[in-house]
């Protein structure tokens, strides 16, 4: 619609996986090289993972279109809600074997004959599976068995598994350890870095035939970076809608105001982090002010808040006095900048005070709501009645402090009737479990135990924590936990613990590894947690950050 208006030859921000718009950076170059090398060198299994919208399908389509030799025969599987027999039938169909056979053994025999024929001609056969995280364990095990089709020197079939981070979590399961051991090459696609978003937008505009440099205002690009969290598909959605809005209002440039309007219409916000998407609300909040956030500061911190406010007022009065010595125009500019800085600092201080001294966690705690806003901890019971205007996130912060993510994870698990934490009703009773070794360990059928060690918002944090535990000698898995429409948590579990005593030692080791007991590590870890919690704050705080 707007292509001719802006001078595009094609739409620059289509969300379809068009390889013509493949954006190359070091991460994508590495993934592309791994795919090409792994197939041509007959490495067997290759695994590429990445968050939704990071360009996995585009990567596959570029590989299929550009760089595979004519002697490489490919099967592209995009529907992964199939059992292994159905997968075999799709492979036969794409390779042109033309069979309607339904017997799995006969399908395997015919495929093996075809692969041997291709080998004699020095040809390669590769199966590319997109959205592989949806494959059942049975289908994945079938693909492992399919890789057993080999000679003494090389694999007869190359298998690429492309999927979301849940795929890696599946491969970490003990039941699929044989498949995991077959993976010869793997890579993870990451979102674009902040400084890359502008380059990505420019690249797509150039690919669409745009020659100028001023279509998106620099501040608009910064807003796109915030709202998209570097996810290319989200960048495309924002830019496409922004161009449509600019076209409709006869503007030749995209401003920050347009981006904010588009983000509001698309229901985007700072919660769009990796996986990214972190705020769970019970009821829709009204637009917030700093005064609203200040009301949420615990009573014992309000004196400090007032002292800070008085000091800020003194600074402003000092600036007024300074105004008598400088020109009115410069004075107004100085006052405006100082007020914006003070407002930002006040906002940061409010966030830190809210997170600085969480309410003490107690086993068997009862949470009562008073005055529709305040959460009070009392011993022995574990129920909370959701008040109007509250959020599960707020309750989790006040109850679990630095363990907020783990708290929300356990709240969802302890309330199986709640499938989506966004769908909790005012007045509903919610069970709040205590976070103790007794509540976090799980006894297995063979008598061993596994322990829920921690839960993180971001996969990269979970990976780092799991790596430290593995260095301590523990067997660790990471399981994605979708607790709402837009919140994916990452649970870290320690497995194969022999008895209760070993489970308790693992719990202590997990706490020590995370820095909750170590005086040296605690401050660094706490700062990281505060930054992470701030990026997943309530709707009210989110509005403060965006405005």
Asked if 388 and 372 touch (Cβ cutoff 8 Å), the reply is: yes
Higher model confidence: residue 304 or residue 423? 423
In 208-253, which residue ranges form alpha helices assigned H by DSSP?
Answer: 218-228, 232-248
Whether the pLDDT of residue 426 is over 60: the answer is yes
Q: List C-alpha distances in Å: 82 to 59, 89, 303, 515, 525.
A: 23, 10, 62, 44, 43
Which residue, chain included where needed, has tokens 């205002």?
Answer: 217
Residue 58's Cβ-side half-sphere holds a number of Cα atoms within 13 Å equal to 21
Looking at domain 192-268, its CATH architecture is Orthogonal Bundle (1.10)
Q: List C-alpha distances in Å: 510 to 85, 494, 506.
A: 42, 9, 6
Average pLDDT over residues 102-122: 91
Domain ranges of the chain: 26-189, 192-268, 299-356, 365-546
Residue 247 tokens read as 């076209």
Higher model confidence: residue 488 or residue 162? 162
pLDDT digits (tens, 9 = 90+) for 69-94: 788 999 999 888 989 999 999 999 99
- Model pLDDT, residue 66: 78
Please state which of the ranges 80-84, 233-237, 355-359, 459-463 shows the lowest mean pLDDT: 355-359
Whether the pLDDT of residue 275 is over 60: the answer is no
b/e per residue 499-524 (b: at least 16 CB within 10 A): eeebbbebbebbbebbbbeeeeeeee
Higher model confidence: residue 201 or residue 536? 201
315 falls in which pLDDT band (50, 70, 90)? low
pLDDT digits (tens, 9 = 90+) for 342-368: 444 443 333 333 333 333 333 333 333
Through-space distance between the first and last CA atoms of the chain, rounded to whole angstroms: 31
139 falls in which pLDDT band (50, 70, 90)? very high
pLDDT digits (tens, 9 = 90+) for 504-528: 887 787 777 665 433 333 333 434 4
Whether the pLDDT of residue 539 is over 50: the answer is no
Higher model confidence: residue 459 or residue 323? 459
- Model pLDDT, residue 312: 54
What backbone phi and psi angles, to 5 degrees, belong to 493? -125, 140
Average pLDDT over residues 167-193: 90
Whether the pLDDT of residue 106 is over 70: the answer is yes
423 falls in which pLDDT band (50, 70, 90)? confident
Higher model confidence: residue 445 or residue 384? 384
Residue 512's Cβ-side half-sphere holds a number of Cα atoms within 13 Å equal to 8
**Residue 387 carries which DSSP code?**
P
| E-state strands within 139-287 | 158-163, 183-189
b/e per residue 251-268 (b: at least 16 CB within 10 A): eeebbbebbbebbeeeeb
152 falls in which pLDDT band (50, 70, 90)? confident
Please state which of the ranges 33-42, 417-426, 486-495 shows the lowest mean pLDDT: 417-426
Please state which of the ranges 218-232, 271-285, 381-395, 479-493 shows the lowest mean pLDDT: 271-285
Higher model confidence: residue 103 or residue 543? 103
Instruction: Give the whole-angstrom CA distance, residue 456 versus residue 273.
Output: 12
**Residue 67 carries which DSSP code?**
I
- Model pLDDT, residue 161: 95
pLDDT digits (tens, 9 = 90+) for 362-408: 333 333 333 333 333 333 346 788 887 777 877 887 788 778 888 88
Residue 47's Cβ-side half-sphere holds a number of Cα atoms within 13 Å equal to 22
Instruction: Give the whole-angstrom CA distance, residue 545 versus residue 260.
Output: 13
Q: What percent of the chain has pLDDT over 70?
A: 72
Residue 259, Ramachandran bin (φ over 0: left; ψ between -120 and 50: alpha; else beta): alpha
Q: Which fold has domain 26-189?
A: Rossmann fold (3.40.50)
What backbone phi and psi angles, to 5 degrees, belong to 392? -60, -40
Instruction: Give the whole-angstrom CA distance, residue 17 versus residue 32.
Output: 15
Average pLDDT over residues 15-29: 87
- Model pLDDT, residue 281: 34
Q: What is the mean pLDDT of the chain?
A: 75
Higher model confidence: residue 486 or residue 196? 196
Instruction: Give the whole-angstrom CA distance, residue 54 versus residue 230.
Output: 9
Instruction: Sort strands 449-456 and 365-370 into parallel, antiparallel or unpaired.
Output: unpaired
* Predicted TM-score (pTM) of this structure: 0.52
Whether the pLDDT of residue 494 is over 80: the answer is yes
Please state which of the ranges 36-45, 87-96, 307-316 shows the lowest mean pLDDT: 307-316
* 365-546 CATH choice from 3.30.930.10, 3.40.50.300, 3.90.1200.10, 3.30.70.1070: 3.30.70.1070
What backbone phi and psi angles, to 5 degrees, belong to 149? -75, 100
Asked if 35 and 160 touch (Cβ cutoff 8 Å), the reply is: yes
Instruction: Give the whole-angstrom CA distance, residue 48 versus residue 34.
Output: 9
Give the DSSP H/E element, type plus range, for residue 76.
strand 72-77
| E-state strands within 290-418 | 365-370, 374-379, 383-385
311 falls in which pLDDT band (50, 70, 90)? low
Asked if 545 and 488 touch (Cβ cutoff 8 Å), the reply is: no
From the list 264, 262, 237, 242, the residue with the least C-alpha distance to 252 is 242
Whether the pLDDT of residue 319 is over 80: the answer is no
């Amino acid at each position: 619609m707007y292509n001719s208006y802006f001078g595009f030859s094609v739409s620059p921000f289509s969300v379809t996986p068009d390889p013509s718009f493949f954006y190359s950076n070091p991460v994508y170059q590495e993934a592309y090289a791994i795919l090409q090398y792994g197939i041509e060198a007959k490495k067997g299994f290759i695994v590429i993972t990445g968050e939704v919208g990071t360009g996995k399908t585009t990567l596959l389509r570029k590989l299929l279109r550009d760089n595979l030799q004519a002697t490489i025969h490919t099967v592209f599987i995009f529907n992964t809600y199939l059992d292994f027999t159905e997968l075999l039938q799709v492979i036969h169909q794409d390779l042109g074997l033309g069979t309607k056979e339904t017997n799995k053994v006969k399908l395997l025999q015919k495929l093996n004959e075809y692969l041997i024929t291709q080998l004699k001609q020095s040809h390669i056969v590769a199966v590319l599976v997109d959205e592989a995280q949806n494959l059942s364990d049975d289908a994945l095990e079938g693909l492992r068995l399919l890789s057993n089709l080999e000679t003494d020197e090389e694999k007869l079939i190359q298998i690429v598994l492309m999927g979301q981070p849940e795929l890696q979590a599946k491969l970490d399961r003990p039941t699929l350890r044989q498949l995991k051991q077959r993976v010869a090459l793997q890579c993870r696609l990451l979102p674009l870095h902040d400084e890359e978003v502008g380059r990505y937008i420019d690249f797509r505009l150039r690919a669409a035939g745009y020659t100028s440099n001023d279509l998106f205002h620099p501040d608009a690009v910064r807003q796109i970076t915030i709202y998209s969290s570097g996810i290319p598909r989200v960048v495309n959605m924002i830019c496409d809608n922004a161009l449509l809005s600019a076209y409709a209002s006869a503007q030749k440039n995209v401003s920050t105001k347009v981006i904010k309007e588009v983000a509001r219409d698309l229901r985007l916000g700072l919660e769009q982090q990796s996986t990214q998407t972190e705020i769970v609300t019970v009821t829709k909040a009204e637009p917030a002010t700093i005064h609203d956030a200040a009301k949420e500061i615990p009573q014992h911190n309000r004196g400090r808040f007032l002292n800070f406010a008085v000091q800020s007022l003194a600074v402003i009065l000092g600036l007024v006095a300074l105004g008598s010595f400088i020109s009115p125009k410069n004075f107004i500019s100085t006052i405006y900048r100082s007020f914006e800085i003070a407002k930002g600092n006040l906002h940061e201080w409010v966030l830190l005070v809210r997170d600085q001294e969480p309410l003490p966690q107690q086993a068997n705690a009862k949470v009562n709501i008073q005055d529709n806003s305040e959460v009070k901890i009392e011993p022995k019971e574990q129920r909370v009645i959701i008040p109007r205007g509250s959020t599960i996130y707020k309750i989790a912060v006040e109850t679990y402090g630095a363990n907020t993510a783990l708290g929300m994870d356990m709240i969802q698990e302890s309330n199986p009737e709640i499938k989506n934490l966004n769908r909790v009703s005012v007045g509903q009773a919610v069970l709040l479990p205590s976070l103790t070794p007794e509540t976090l360990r799980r006894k297995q059928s063979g008598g061993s135990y596994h322990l829920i060690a921690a839960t993180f918002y971001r996969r990269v944090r979970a990976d780092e924590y799991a790596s430290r535990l593995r260095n301590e000698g523990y067997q660790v898995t990471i399981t994605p936990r979708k607790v709402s429409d837009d919140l994916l948590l990452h649970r870290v579990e320690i497995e194969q613990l022999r008895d209760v005593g070993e489970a308790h030692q693992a719990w202590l080791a997990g706490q020590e590894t995370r820095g909750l007991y170590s005086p040296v590590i605690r401050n660094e870890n706490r700062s990281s947690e505060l930054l992470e919690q701030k990026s997943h704050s309530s709707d009210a705080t989110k509005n403060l950050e965006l405005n």
